Amino acid sequence: MRLKDKVAIITGAGRGIGLTTAQTFAREGAKVVLCDLDFAEVEAAAQDLKKAGHQVLAVQANTAKSDSVKDLLQKSLAEFGRVDILVNNAGIIRDRQLLKMEDEEFDQVIEVNLRGVYLCAKAAAEVMAAQGGGVILNASSVVALYGNFGQTNYVASKAGVIGMTRVWARELGRKGIRVNAVAPGFIETRMTEGIPDKVIEKLIEKVPLGRMGKPQDIANAYLWLASDESSYVTGHVLSVDGGAVT
């Protein structure tokens, strides 16, 4: 098992990519802290994993709030004694064209997708530095690399994540902490369920592999980056997009 006895915190773990990542890490031997704003979802997910014999903890947290993030780390340490991996997966969208976007919609996305990543990474890095090492993985997006219609706020947040990832890789490498990002393409999640079929067809036309990705595709990327198999990889942005960005 590639993550045997490692302790991993995964934000936005109640569903979609976050949940699939939590399940994948647990199967690979990790002790997993599932974090989400929706406690009912994350608790249900944790119970399912416990029934399968995995060591897990469910925590409700608002990753955009400093006190909530500190509480998340404290509960994780109290339960498992250390933190080896952080997957900054939590994120939201508030899509609208620039000329129609409300200031609040911009601020909300930046708060969760950028400030939340910063707060969680900072709190986890403090623990990892004291331990002598760890892995921080951040969720970016392929749209951060080429832009996307109607997503000023989302693209700005995900491009910012790439910038922070590269800075932290430089700053934290000497402390034994690797920092990388994953840039998913068009993935079948609840976030994409409401997109009209005609729009989905146009999106798939841009993908050389001719299909949307699955949450497991992203979880597999996180697994590799979290494992010792990628021990010499840091400051990297791994696109998992079926070739959409080439």
Which token pair is 246?
């080439």
In the block, which residue shows the tokens 């995900």? 158
Active site residue 154: yes
User: Residue 199 has what pLDDT?
Assistant: 79
Which of 118, 154, 222, 232 does the annotation list as catalytic?
154
> Domains (ranges, CATH) in the chain?
7-239 (3.40.50.720)
Cα-only R_g, the chain: 17
Mean pLDDT by runs of 10 across the 246 residues of the chain is: 98 97 98 97 97 98 98 98 98 96 98 98 98 98 92 97 98 98 92 75 89 96 98 98 86
Q: What is the pLDDT of residue 68?
A: 98
| Global pTM value | 0.96
Which residues does 99 contact at the CB level (< 8 Å), separation at least 6?
none
Rounded to whole angstroms, how far apart are CA atoms 118 and 113?
Answer: 9
